[in-house]
Amino acid sequence: MKRFDKHIFICENQRPEGHPRGCCKDKGGSDVKELFKKRLKELGLNSSVRANTAGCLDACEYGVTVVVYPEQVWYGGVKIEDVEEIIQSHILNNKPVERLFIKDARFNKDE
C-alpha cells in the first residue's frame, strides 16, 4: 500500500549571494512550498499528496524548480500565482501545466 499518490518537491536550495546560476530560495522557493502545503491541506489532499522541501535539484537557473512524481514533471520559474494552477490542473486532473515545463532536454523524460 503506497502512502502518497503524488509527491511535489519544491527546491529551497540557497547558493552564495551573486552565484551565476542563482538559487530557488532567493526566487521564492519557501513561499511556493508553504502555499502548496496550505492549499493541499485546505483541499483535503494532504493524505494523498505530499509537498516536500527539496535541496538542490541542479536546475537553479530555472528556479523556483518544482518536480512532481511519479510523473517526473519538471516545472521551472514557478511563482506563487502558479501554485493553484498546478494543483487544479496537474494534481487534481492529471493535466500537467505545459507553459511551466523546463525547456531543457535534461529535464524531459521523453527526450
* Side chain identity, residue 3: R
What's the average model confidence in pLDDT over 11-22? 80
pTM for this entry: 0.89
How far is residue 19's CA from residue 78's CA, in Å, rounded to a whole number?
20
- Answer yes or no: is pLDDT of 107 > 80: no
Beta carbons within 8 Å of 17's beta carbon, 6+ residues apart? none
Q: Is the dihedral of CA 68, 73, 76, 81 positive or negative?
A: negative
- Answer yes or no: is pLDDT of 108 > 70: no
What pLDDT shows up at residue 104?
A: 77
Domain residue ranges in the chain: 6-107
78 or 111: whose pLDDT is higher? 78
Q: Calculate Rg over the CA atoms of the chain.
A: 13
Is 32 within 8 Å of 54 (Cβ atoms)? no
Helix (H) or strand (E) holding 54: strand 49-54
Nearest partner of 42 among 88, 76, 74, judged by Cα: 88
Nearest partner of 31 among 78, 75, 76, 72, judged by Cα: 78
pLDDT, tens digit (0-9, with 9 covering 90-100), for 26-68? 888 999 999 999 999 999 998 999 999 998 888 888 879 999 9
pLDDT, tens digit (0-9, with 9 covering 90-100), for 76-100? 999 999 999 999 999 999 999 999 9
**Residue labelled with grid coordinates 514533471:** 73
The fold adopted by the segment(s) 6-107 is Glutaredoxin (3.40.30)
What pLDDT shows up at residue 110?
A: 54
